[in-house]
Amino acid sequence: MPYALGVVDLLIVVFFATHVLRTGRPWYWIMIMTMAPFLGSLIYFISEYLPEMRYSRGGRKVLRAVEAAVDPNRAMREAETEFERSPTAANRAALAAALSAAGRYDEAIKHYDECASGSYAKDVHFVRSLAATNLLAERWSAARASYERLFALGKDARQPDDDLGYAFALARLGDGSADAAFQHAVTTANGPVARCRYAQYLDESGRRHEARELYEQVVKEGRLAPAHTRDLHKAWYRLAADALKTP
């Protein structure tokens, strides 16, 4: 076991020493890590490597995952404290967002309902958040009503994700206008998500040939897309590829 720990320490030192050389940081960091492998690497990680991670998309994802693992209730506590200190609509919405992120949709919906009422009844952000959270909670009728309320605020209030959410709610309700809603969502959306969702709907409706055509479009797009786009939507590209393997 001590030998294994020593190997791990060495690998960590090599990783951070490489980072020192690649980024042009002072050489004394390598000396510190060599003299005290574990402690030196830990100090370097906290003081040099960790702050740099905050400026990259991948780094931020790692940091969020670490923060969630170390203190999963931090965002909730902070949102609750801010709302108790000052129960403004903005702080209520922040609390609702934290509740939604924690999967406590019913509580989040109550707060968004409060936000999107009174003088803020026509606030696009609050109404959209209410619709999206109803969708997450699988309250299909409430989601449809919320999206229709959002659309009534004007064409500038409508975004591609709203079109897709509305179509999905209609599909879950068995509404005959779901097909047209999905077609509209596909024309307004960027990326493969809307086409995959529409293909799933077509598949469930017994329109397998049409679904396959959409999946083929998604797979072709994935082959031609830049690396960062493939990484961003890799789950959807994989879903389309797997769907085409099914007879």
Distance CA 67, CA 78 (A): 14
3-state secondary structure of 15: helix
* pLDDT value at 211 more than 90: yes
Out of 33, 50, 67, pick the residue that ends a domain.
Answer: 50
* pLDDT value at 174 more than 50: yes
Are 163 and 132 spatial neighbours (Cβ–Cβ below 8 Å)?
Answer: no
* Nearest CA among 54, 38, 45 for reference residue 19: 45
Q: Which CATH number is 155's domain given? A: 1.25.40.10
Token pair for 126 = 């609050």
Is residue 139 domain-shared with residue 230, that is, in the same domain? yes
| Within-domain flag for 104 | no
Distance CA 48, CA 25 (A): 9
Is residue 141 domain-shared with residue 229, that is, in the same domain? yes
* Tokens 């790692």 found at: 62
pLDDT in tens, 215-226: 999 999 999 988
pLDDT in tens, 32-45: 778 777 777 777 67
| Within-domain flag for 156 | yes
| Within-domain flag for 93 | no
Q: What percent of the chain lies above the pLDDT cut of 70?
A: 85
Number of structural domains, the chain?
A: 2
> Domain span at residue 18?
2-50
Distance CA 137, CA 139 (A): 5
* pLDDT value at 184 more than 80: yes
Q: How many CB atoms lie within 10 A of CB 166?
A: 26
Are 198 and 160 spatial neighbours (Cβ–Cβ below 8 Å)?
Answer: no
pLDDT in tens, 48-85: 666 555 544 555 555 555 555 555 577 788 889 999 99
* pLDDT value at 138 more than 70: yes
